Amino acid sequence: MATDISTLGEFGLIKHLTEHLESTNPETHYGVGDDCAVLNYSNDKDILVTTDLLMEGVHFDLTYMPLKHLGYKAAMVNLSDIYAMGGMPKQMTVSLALSKRFSVEDMEDFYAGLRLACDMHQVDIVGGDTTSSRTGLAISITAIGETEKGKAIYRHGAKETDLVCVTGDLGAAYMGFQLLEREKEVYYNQIETAKTDAERMAIAQPDFSGREYLLERQMKPEARRDIILQLREAGIHPTSMMDISDGLSSELLHICTQSHCGCRIYEERIPIDYQTAVTAEEMNMNLTTAALNGGEDYELLFTVPIADHEKITQMKDIKLIGHITKESLGCALITRDGAEFELKAQGWEALKEK
């Protein structure tokens, strides 16, 4: 009897297909299981390789996502993985599957956003492929970067008493997504009830005044090159690191599982922007849940030795949110009133049955 993929989910499927793969080439230093594969072809540099596949209707909605913004975001998603390994991106390949509804001008807009992101991060677009699609737009991007030999930062290096840190703020991208989805539903309801072309033309555009930051976080995320440079300048080498694409809870559980440890994080220390808090209240959504499980923040989650406490607390845009514990203690969130709740991976997962 065939097994439905949804019973495994995205990460379960990846593990199932790859857990018995063995690398035979000496240049393959580390394969499947982290933000990037690590290859070594020289005595002083390790090569980082990562790829992402973005599907229309699954990862993005062109109802409200301009193609220029989509190109920018598609690049940043991959660059963020390179930074999550402590590396610097250098090259990128871009492959597209296009349906007939897209024009040359549409793809010019997409590439304008892509090139803007690459120019900002000194990345060269060096190749790719295009083909036809019957189901919309599919984007596959591979980013290539480098780090000093032996200096790549993996998910499996966290140690007991390490400090847990995050950059920026969390939950804003998710709230931006909720706003866009809400207004899309309102718009289509108005279209359905309009009886004449004049009534359809008169439908007003949504007003996002005061919520610009949330939309920017969803549609134009920024990979944290600045944090990697800060850490290098301060002489701090994180023991583990991931970027927050699927939600803080999910990523932290990845680190703890692969590092064979537990953790305690504190609700009151999770960084949240004012617009995120206000919008969550207006939409009657739990703010902490949005910050823990929303995803698409593309901030960095990392652990550092407790000896780096003073350095970390003095660094810009980095927040200390907890610490690593023994594996037997599990992974938990400590609420503002001192209650303890088990962390669960409730973030977005592509292959789970909806």
* Helix, coil or strand: residue 321: strand
Q: What is the pLDDT of residue 350?
A: 43
Closest by CA to 277, choosing from 269, 286, 264, is: 286
Q: What is the pLDDT of residue 201?
A: 62
Q: Which residue type, as a one-letter code, is found at position 334? A: I
Q: What is the pLDDT of residue 125?
A: 85
Pair 232, 263 in one domain:
yes
> CA-CA distance, 325 to 162, in Å (whole number)?
8
Residue with tokens 């980095």: 318
Residue with tokens 């991976």: 345
350 belongs to a structural domain: no
Pair 138, 168 in one domain:
no
What DSSP line would sit under 214-246, residue for residue?
HHHHHHS----HHHHHHHHHHT---SEEEE-SS
Q: Which domain holds residue 261?
A: 163-177+215-342
Residues in the chain predicted with pLDDT less than 50, given as ranges, are 348-354
* Helix, coil or strand: residue 323: strand
Residue with tokens 């289509």: 188
Q: What is the pLDDT of residue 27?
A: 65
352 belongs to a structural domain: no
Q: What is the pLDDT of residue 197?
A: 64
Q: What is the pLDDT of residue 155?
A: 96
Domain at 36, CATH number: 3.30.1330.10
11 belongs to a structural domain: no
Pair 95, 168 in one domain:
no
> CA-CA distance, 140 to 9, in Å (whole number)?
20
Residues 6+ apart with CB under 8 A from 207: none
Pair 41, 144 in one domain:
yes
What angle do helix axes 274-282 and 172-193 make, rounded to 10 degrees?
40
190 belongs to a structural domain: no
288 belongs to a structural domain: yes
Q: What is the pLDDT of residue 345?
A: 80
Pair 168, 309 in one domain:
yes
How many domains is the chain partitioned into structurally?
2
184 belongs to a structural domain: no
Pair 116, 253 in one domain:
no
Pair 240, 334 in one domain:
yes
Per-residue pLDDT tens digits for 88-124: 999 988 888 988 888 889 999 999 999 999 999 999 8
78 belongs to a structural domain: yes
> CA-CA distance, 300 to 241, in Å (whole number)?
7
Per-residue pLDDT tens digits for 156-185: 999 999 999 999 999 999 999 999 999 888
Q: What is the pLDDT of residue 126?
A: 81
Pair 128, 260 in one domain:
no
195 belongs to a structural domain: no
Measured in Å, how far apart are the chain's first and last C-alpha atoms?
Answer: 22
Pair 168, 139 in one domain:
no
Pair 68, 28 in one domain:
yes
Domain at 295, CATH number: 3.90.650.10
Pair 82, 31 in one domain:
yes
Query: pTM for the full model?
Result: 0.86
Pair 281, 172 in one domain:
yes
